[in-house]
Structure 1
Amino acid sequence: MSLKYKAHNPDGIYFVTLTVVEWADVFTRRDYCELVCESISYCQQKKDLIVYAWCIMTNHVHLFCSAPKLTDVLRDLKKYTSRFLVDAVKMNSRESRKNWLLWMFKSAGEKSASHGEYQFWQLGGHYVELSTNELMEQRLEYLHQNPVKAGFVEEPEHWYYSSARDYAGEKGRLEVVLIE
């Protein structure tokens, strides 16, 4: 993996993007989003993950986060969620795209020696250290405006799977340390 896609500063806050293979729109189902939220919450409680901002879009997840061993925490998060999300797709009797999604995850898994039968997330992840206030403000605006620009909501705080709710003074889905 390229050095630019790792977290080198253990005290840094990073903007991280985790993307579903082939940009498949998996997170159109609430139960899949909930699995990601539960996994992030677990990492917050057990792995010292601090989340400052986040947003789940239909095919990727953005996080502003930090942890003493962030790369390891996110690797574990991806490994865990990958297994449980693939299982959730398999078990979901109402999933109209089940065969297509499983075929896509299996095809990606066959191309990667480091994965099992299925691969859910694209390899690596995009890590940007938020080393200046300007960069932090720019990325925070981008993250919270993502659902608005996609046409899903009129206001960022209307997107349930986003920290925009917390930044608007409402209670959000995950525990967030607000950036002042």
Structure 2
Amino acid sequence: MSEKYKIRDQQKIYFVTFSVVQWIDVFTRSQYKDLLITSLEYCINKKGLEVYSWCIMSNHVHLIVGRCGQFKIEEIIRDFKKYTSVSLVKAIKENPSESRKEWLLWIFRKLAERSAKHLKYCFWQNEYHPIELSDSVMMRQKLDYIHDNPVEAGFVGEPEHWRYSSAVDYAGDKGLLCIKFIE
């Protein structure tokens, strides 16, 4: 990982993005997005991940995160990516409605063949480029960026209308994940 993108202070809050290899649109089915939600809930409840903002798009995930507890942020992210990559490939394999099953698995398998890190399938791009949010201006900019992502993509007209985002929480309703609010 580049020196520029390192988690240097475990007490700080970070903006991170996970992208599917080749930017493949995998999260077009609720089943796959729900798997990510369940995994994030686990990380929140069992590993001390603090989620301040989140959004699942068709081929990537944005988060603003911190931590409380014994696990380092990079350990939580590593475990999250490892678990979800295996779980998502399994869900794709077992989904009788997945029309792109063979194609998706072929790509994930081919990319794993080129990697010393992956045994069978490569789902996520390796990097997640944590950016420390050192002041309220940066926090607000990244928060708005995350919540505006589905609007910019043309999926919804208002950020809070995207079900797979914390924008609904910031609009005053209850979203899918228990988040901490950025003041």
Letter in 2 for 1:116: L
TM-score norm. by structure 1 comes to 0.98
TM-score norm. by structure 2 comes to 0.96
How much does 1:118 deviate? 0.1
Superposition pairs for residues 129-148 of structure 1, below 5 Å? 129-148=132-151
- The alignment partner of 2:4 has SS state of helix
Superposition pairs for residues 142-157 of structure 1, below 5 Å? 142-157=145-160
Letter in 1 for 2:21: V
Letter in 1 for 2:38: E
Taking the aligned partners of 2:20 and 2:101, their CA distance within structure 1 comes to: 15
Letter in 1 for 2:171: A
Taking the aligned partners of 1:168 and 1:113, their CA distance within structure 2 comes to: 44
Letter in 2 for 1:168: A
Deviations 1:74-104 (A, max 9, x none): 0000000000000000000100111111111
Say what the alpha-carbon RMSD is for the aligned residues.
0.8
Taking the aligned partners of 1:4 and 1:94, their CA distance within structure 2 comes to: 42
Gaps of 5+ in 1: none
How much does 1:12 deviate? 0.6
1:37 counterpart residue number: 37
Within the candidate set 159, 174, 179, 1:176 is matched to 179
Letter in 2 for 1:139: K
The structure 1 segments of at least 4 consecutive aligned residues displaced by more than 4 Å after TM superposition are: none
1:164 counterpart residue number: 167
How much does 1:10 deviate? 0.6
How much does 1:6 deviate? 2.5
Aligned length: 180
Superposition pairs for residues 107-126 of structure 1, below 5 Å? 107-126=110-129
Superposition pairs for residues 1-180 of structure 1, below 5 Å? 1-67=1-67, 69-180=72-183
How much does 1:124 deviate? 1.8
Letter in 2 for 1:117: K
Taking the aligned partners of 2:98 and 2:142, their CA distance within structure 1 comes to: 33
Taking the aligned partners of 1:3 and 1:174, their CA distance within structure 2 comes to: 32
Taking the aligned partners of 1:175 and 1:39, their CA distance within structure 2 comes to: 13
Indicate the percent of aligned positions where both proteins have the same amino acid.
56
Deviations 1:18-75 (A, max 9, x none): 0000000000000000010000000001110000000000000000001250001000
Gaps of 5+ in 2: none
